[in-house]
Amino acid sequence: MWPGWFQGVAAGAAPLPASAEAASPGAVPSDTVPPAWLAGLWYERELISSDLPGWSDWTGIRASAMRDLRWGALGLELFRAERFGLRDLGGSLDGYLELWERAYANVRVRVTPGADVLPGIDLRGELFQAWPGGWEVSGSGWWMDFPEHDAGVVGVGIARYLGSWYFRETVTLGTLAGESALSTSFLARRYLDPPREYLEVSGGVGREVVVLGAGPTVDVRDTRFLRGGLQKFLTRSWGLSAALQYHRFQGTPSRRGGSLGVLARF
């Protein structure tokens, strides 16, 4: 749902599981203290292929800050989303928690007071378990509070680290007002300097819960998307994040666009 938009402040900042650390190059030398903070500011825009009333281009601005901690990482994000000619303002809290051996969890809480185009409350949790040989499995749950019907999504994923590469396949099952939505997506990521510098491509196809208008109005539709992204630090402290994407769901105009961000670590 909404690939490329509001992915959470921990994107690219999560601690790698034990198997990934062993498989990935570019480890920080033992005599160097790694930066503890990661902050960013992004501008996002999607062009709508339609002249229909209410389908103006979408824009978004988000700012985030994340702190690496002994037990994981914790971040805060503030955002503004403009869709269907309306604006939503909100914030999210995003955390990565180290659990037992080779396991960690991601928990995200996003709140949009007076939401017109986004869920009022958005809760998501995902558990990752790494295995020897660079394998990783995961399970997730996602709940979104809409005015008429809540939407729920559960998912399972399998991933593999191969040297500096990370490959992942995910299958999700969503429900809305008794209707089911099954979709699958893939991710291929090449780490340039793990875990915060990478080049990636992702895509997906299936049926998802999507927003069709203000209210917000939601439905289950056939969807597909393709996205490419790069995150790279130009100096030890400053970097750039950029992405391009195409997204289409049944019975609505196609969307193409991307994002550009400035990153700082300290």
| Per-residue pLDDT tens over the stretch 138-156 | 999 999 999 888 999 999 9
* For the chain, domain boundaries: 18-265
Contact 263, 239 (CB under 8 A): yes
Dihedral sign of CA atoms 127, 166, 79, 245 in order: negative
Q: Give residue 16's region: left, alpha or beta (phi > 0; psi -120 to 50).
A: beta
pTM score = 0.86
CA distances from 155 to 9, 67, 152 (A): 20, 27, 10
Contact between residue 113 and residue 92 where contact means Cβ atoms under 8 Å apart: no
Residue 253 tokens read as: 């105009």
CATH topology of domain 18-265: Porin (2.40.160)
pLDDT tens sequence across 174-233: 999 899 999 999 999 999 999 899 999 999 999 999 888 888 889 999 999 999 999 999
